[in-house]
Chain A
């Protein structure tokens, strides 16, 4: 075992329970207790000790020897992130290891050679800093995952696919049509088409402010995909200005049926599906 590791192995071997208590006490003292659990501390301690004893390189946290430690830290920061703990509190939990470590170093090495004590303290400090840094980064990543997931849900909620009638689905598009939005609409619309076996989809763009070549491209892609699957599509909600823009830009709608209003589109869809609507005499 390397000299460094041997020193720390010895330190961690001496009264681990006391070590952990001192650690948790420091966490509480800094006011970042929150949901700290003794089990978390024990698990991290065990992983740390195992790594040190297995001669892991104390200077590089990315080595294979620290794999278990990293996974414990990742699990820890993920659960803290999910619980809504702050980044500061989560890294403080790690940083508080310094207290029992330094105490232990002073107790066993402080007396004889101050250089040995200093070197050990330095290594300890660097290591704990790296652990805290890793925890903070993983924490951030977890938070970003949560945010991304919420964004996705928001996006999905803002373009619902509704069943207008037997075999007729409609998607009201509201707002700007960018590529990620279109992709999402395409996916959910196509999936619903398969699920419901609907042969007609109405894409209503009343709520889309402008249609430029890019937006038209996205719409065309969606329609092509729908047709590839064996269904058809009507685009409704074409305002006069949009109609002008389409002609002006020379956009070829490739035989897609368009209607001015959703009502017109529905009427056409029903006719195509073979329905006849009659009104009872009052």
Chain B
């Protein structure tokens, strides 16, 4: 789904809620996933200049999970290590979103290059 404006962040939360309900996640897992999606979609809209979110249900043996990918063709992240340390005290919106989301999901993958954009893929298993 497209992530271009503020309204899309809300749509994204609603979409992920629907998906986690479908996957029958527990309430806490739902909340964590939707919150992570909120953070990452906001990053895409505000810092990435707009992009999209893709989703798919995944299987790993017996386990089922939900995978979300947030991609933008924005400026990219120059210092990944810095971005992934808790940016809360500096007040930087993107910092909390990235490092916080990482703790809310099981698998976290970040691909970025300056000038080429960013793609964050997160997975939560049931």
8 Å CB interface, A116-154 against B? 140-141, 144
Interface flags, B1-32, vs A, CB<8A=1, else 0 = 00000000000000000000000000010000
Say yes or no: A183 contacts B62, CB within 8 Å: no
- Residues from chain B with a CB closer than 8 A to the CB of A43 are none
Name the residue of chain B whose CB is nearest to the CB of A186.
B28
Chain B residue total in the interface (Cβ 8 A): 2
Name the residue of chain B whose CB is nearest to the CB of A144.
B62
8 Å CB interface, B13-63 against A? 28, 62
Q: Kindly state the interface size class of chain A when it binds its partner.
A: under 10
Interface flags, A166-192, vs B, CB<8A=1, else 0 = 000000000000000001000100000
Q: How far is the CB of A146 from chain B (nearest CB, A)?
A: 13
8 Å CB interface, B90-125 against A? none
Q: How far is the CB of A138 from chain B (nearest CB, A)?
A: 11
- Residues from chain A with a CB closer than 8 A to the CB of B28 are 183, 187
8 Å CB interface, B61-76 against A? 62
Q: How far is the CB of B53 from chain A (nearest CB, A)?
A: 27
A28 vs B62: C-alpha distance in the bound complex, in angstroms? Answer: 32
- Residues from chain B with a CB closer than 8 A to the CB of A187 are 28
Name the residue of chain A whose CB is nearest to the CB of B28.
A187
A260 vs B62: C-alpha distance in the bound complex, in angstroms? Answer: 44
- Residues from chain B with a CB closer than 8 A to the CB of A144 are 62
Which residues of A are in contact with B by a Cβ distance under 8 Å? 140-141, 144, 183, 187
Which residues of B are in contact with A by a Cβ distance under 8 Å? 28, 62
